[in-house]
Structure 1
Amino acid sequence: MSLQQLLAIDLPIIQAPMAGVQGSALAVAVCNAGGLGSLPCAMLGVEAMRKELAAIKAQTSRPYNVNFFCHRLPEPDAGREAAWRAALGPHFGEYGIDPGSIPVGPGRIPFSSEAAEVLEEFKPPVVSFHFGLPPAELVERVKRWGAKVLSSATTVEEARWLEAHGVDAVIAQGVEAGGHRGMFLSEDISTQVGSFALLPQVARAVKVPVIAAGGIADAKGVAAAMALGAAGVQVGTAFLLCPEAATTPLHRAALKSEAAHVTALTNLFTGRPARGIVNRVMRELGPISTAAPAFPLATSAIAPLRAKAESLGQTGFTPLWAGQNTSGCKEVSAALLVQELAQGAQATR
């Protein structure tokens, strides 16, 4: 079965869910262009999620995807939190922020029964996950209304695990991809490889369709992925300059600058490795810090620095999520971008 048949879409193009830089508008535009638009729900409360889902249902009759993180919330570690705030201490002083006034909070909530309840009202055709899968009973609950389940694998072992636990398709996420690594069986970054090394290995290892993600920004990249065994592609970074995206002016400016050519995996903003444009805090602390609390607890302390710096027009503490290949970022409509990417899939038929 082709990916188009599995997901009931016209084109094997999936718009990557990108929490913080998009909402329903981008998802709707991609769906109406024949691809699979995605709504990131990792940072949405129940009512915000319900509002965005209603907006999608009102504007398209096409299949769409909703995406969730499914991490386990860590136990707060007072010692590690203190070390993290000490590492950020000079910056708090520079911006006149009292670290004692900053609350500790999770920042991102994993998929839950409460979220599943909201989804049951809308019955989205596709539900995808990052960081493995939620508990089996929640996966079964999602499948009960007929939803197809996707999840990200960053290694062959993760792909096999996902297939064994019931996913309908695997997203093979290469190390070039922007945003959070979907890794979940290991925290060792050295296990992470490039898309075109990972993709054929995963395609050989599993029987379900494999979706390529990471570094794919144009039709030639799509064609290359399909030639290596992909049933379709998931593209994120290339959509960041589309008018339907909610990318901030500061982030857009960074994507159009020379700085966008240098990205790195960093745990400074959330506690988990994620790829973004190198900025001040990544240079000064190093992109990976052992002081950063476990995901998603690192977010709390750095959030006020981000807010203060952004108010001054600075991006030194902003997670400027982007993949290694920003060459496809163009200020064109999402529909046009989908059509351009789809030419790569048609070239391989």
Structure 2
Amino acid sequence: MDADNAMWPDNRIQTLFGIDLPIVQAPMAGPTQAEMVIGAAQAGALGSLPCAMLSPQQVREQCASIRAVTDAPLNLNFFCHQPRAADPAREAAWRERLAGYYREYGLDPAMPVAPSARAPFDEPWCELLEELRPQVASFHFGLPEPRLLERVRASGARIVSSATTVDEARWLEQRGCDAIIAQGAEAGGHRGVFLREDITTQAGLFALLPRVVDAVRVPVIAAGGIFDARGIVAAFALGAAAAQIGTAYLFCPEAKLSPLHRQALHAGEGDDTAMTNVFTGRPARGIVNRLMREVGPMSDLAPAFPLAGGALAPLRAKAEAAGSDGFMSLWSGQARRAHALSARELTLTLARESLQLLSQRPR
């Protein structure tokens, strides 16, 4: 698609990242592994590997698998949350709230559970990034501390992070982001909020995007509810330089999903989702299921991220074995439609159809 670059309204992201298409395959922790990254990257998009649920050795192995097939630009994505102090009283209240479900599934409500862990970007992660030298390093929930961020920059990586408000976008630009992801409330998975925890005023993408574009000088990547070429073209019309696509890639065969999650995705088109904190302790958008209906979707009892997930793990395992998705985090955006395309085919189709629509617009 190199010859078509002149047809895109804005080429800054292609130039910045060294990619052919203004499309970023979203780093979705769990479903996204090397196969999906390879497919998107080979088509000309920015392939993104989420590191939040992987060990450093697993990241090395995934990167080796990717590099064995393609030398296309690669994005490594990390969480940057501030770990919270343990709150035994809140965790005990959470266990008590879940006790009835434990008994329903034949579990001891007092059984020990392994804590849920999500390591934020720290010294060891920074050393790994310096070793692997990705072309792009993206962050969720803010940015690393300044000394680590400078090391990321010195490695040669372009720095990107998500903003859910104009204030967050300005904060990210002031600290040296090369590009900013404007994450609308429609996006599936975790909100990138980091300056304040209140999500009641979170804007949808097409209300947020033009305001972020006006507030910063760096290129802006649109994310949230973009599922097809119409969404990509609309994002460009509002000033975006690229689109980040998440939920659409979950329908690709490369997505590592449980059968129950895949079945839930196919059962609707996005109007069955809500923002919830009951699975991890941070707000995230997913398909409404039993736990969200009966305990949430937002609950003051859920321990701070990521601790809420530990007590849910035995319930999820038991319910899933019984064929129920009632305690699973079924992440999904507000727009989805089933398809049978590979990650490579999806990327090329999105690009081709977007260019077709752009060519029809009056100049």
Taking the aligned partners of 1:341 and 1:101, their CA distance within structure 2 comes to: 48
* Conserved 8 A contact 1:226-1:348: no
- What secondary structure is seen at the aligned counterpart in 1 of 2:31? coil
1:197 corresponds, among 183, 192, 207, to: 207
1:239 corresponds, among 222, 240, 249, to: 249
Taking the aligned partners of 1:8 and 1:258, their CA distance within structure 2 comes to: 36
1:342 corresponds, among 328, 336, 351, to: 351
Deviation string, structure 1 residues 219-253 (Cα, Å, up to 9, x no partner): 01100000100000000000101011112211111
- What secondary structure is seen at the aligned counterpart in 2 of 1:88? helix
Taking the aligned partners of 1:320 and 1:151, their CA distance within structure 2 comes to: 24
- Shift in alpha-carbon separation, 1:99–1:134, aligned structure 2, 3 A: farther
Is 1:93 aligned to residue 103 of structure 2? yes
* Conserved 8 A contact 2:75-2:136: yes
AA aligned opposite 2:105: Y
Question: What is the CA-CA distance between 1:179 and the residue it aligns to?
Answer: 0.0
2:85 corresponds, among 75, 80, 91, to: 75
* Conserved 8 A contact 2:163-2:183: yes
Question: What is the CA-CA distance between 1:326 and the residue it aligns to?
Answer: 1.2
2:62 aligns with 52
Question: What is the CA-CA distance between 1:136 and the residue it aligns to?
Answer: 0.9
- What secondary structure is seen at the aligned counterpart in 2 of 1:172? strand
2:75 aligns with 65
* Conserved 8 A contact 1:219-1:344: yes
- Shift in alpha-carbon separation, 1:141–1:106, aligned structure 2, 3 A: farther
* Conserved 8 A contact 2:24-2:45: yes
100-109 or 161-170, which moves further after superposition? 100-109
Pairs within 5 Å for 1:99-178:
99-103=109-113, 105-178=115-188
TM-score, normalisation: structure 2: 0.93
- Shift in alpha-carbon separation, 1:214–1:98, aligned structure 2, 3 A: same
Taking the aligned partners of 1:259 and 1:215, their CA distance within structure 2 comes to: 11
Deviation string, structure 1 residues 255-277 (Cα, Å, up to 9, x no partner): 11138531000000000000000
10-19 or 184-193, which moves further after superposition? 184-193
Taking the aligned partners of 1:46 and 1:135, their CA distance within structure 2 comes to: 20
Question: What is the CA-CA distance between 1:345 and the residue it aligns to?
Answer: 4.5
AA aligned opposite 2:101: H
Question: What is the CA-CA distance between 1:54 and the residue it aligns to?
Answer: 1.2
2:339 aligns with 330
* Conserved 8 A contact 2:269-2:336: no
- What secondary structure is seen at the aligned counterpart in 2 of 1:129? strand
- What secondary structure is seen at the aligned counterpart in 1 of 2:274? strand
Is 1:270 aligned to residue 289 of structure 2? no
Unaligned runs of 5+ in 1: none
AA aligned opposite 2:272: V
AA aligned opposite 1:137: R
* Conserved 8 A contact 1:129-1:152: yes
* Conserved 8 A contact 2:80-2:142: yes
AA aligned opposite 2:37: A
2:47 corresponds, among 37, 56, 59, to: 37
Taking the aligned partners of 2:167 and 2:270, their CA distance within structure 1 comes to: 32
Question: What is the CA-CA distance between 1:337 and the residue it aligns to?
Answer: 0.9
Taking the aligned partners of 1:100 and 1:24, their CA distance within structure 2 comes to: 38
AA aligned opposite 1:227: A
* Conserved 8 A contact 1:214-1:323: yes
182-191 or 170-179, which moves further after superposition? 182-191
Pairs within 5 Å for 1:214-293:
214-258=224-268, 260-293=270-303
Taking the aligned partners of 2:323 and 2:211, their CA distance within structure 1 comes to: 44
1:208 aligns with 218
339-348 or 206-215, which moves further after superposition? 339-348
Taking the aligned partners of 1:56 and 1:218, their CA distance within structure 2 comes to: 26
How many residue pairs match? The answer is: 348
AA aligned opposite 1:174: G
Taking the aligned partners of 1:12 and 1:283, their CA distance within structure 2 comes to: 38
TM-score, normalisation: structure 1: 0.97
* Conserved 8 A contact 2:41-2:73: yes
Question: What is the CA-CA distance between 1:73 and the residue it aligns to?
Answer: 0.9
Question: What is the CA-CA distance between 1:4 and the residue it aligns to?
Answer: 0.3
- What secondary structure is seen at the aligned counterpart in 1 of 2:161? strand
Taking the aligned partners of 1:345 and 1:132, their CA distance within structure 2 comes to: 31
AA aligned opposite 1:17: P
Question: What is the CA-CA distance between 1:102 and the residue it aligns to?
Answer: 2.8
44-53 or 25-34, which moves further after superposition? 44-53
Taking the aligned partners of 1:319 and 1:182, their CA distance within structure 2 comes to: 17
* Conserved 8 A contact 1:69-1:131: yes
- Shift in alpha-carbon separation, 1:259–1:205, aligned structure 2, 3 A: closer
* Conserved 8 A contact 1:155-1:191: no
Taking the aligned partners of 1:262 and 1:26, their CA distance within structure 2 comes to: 25
Runs of 4+ in 1 over 4 A off after TM superposition: none
Question: What is the CA-CA distance between 1:116 and the residue it aligns to?
Answer: 1.6
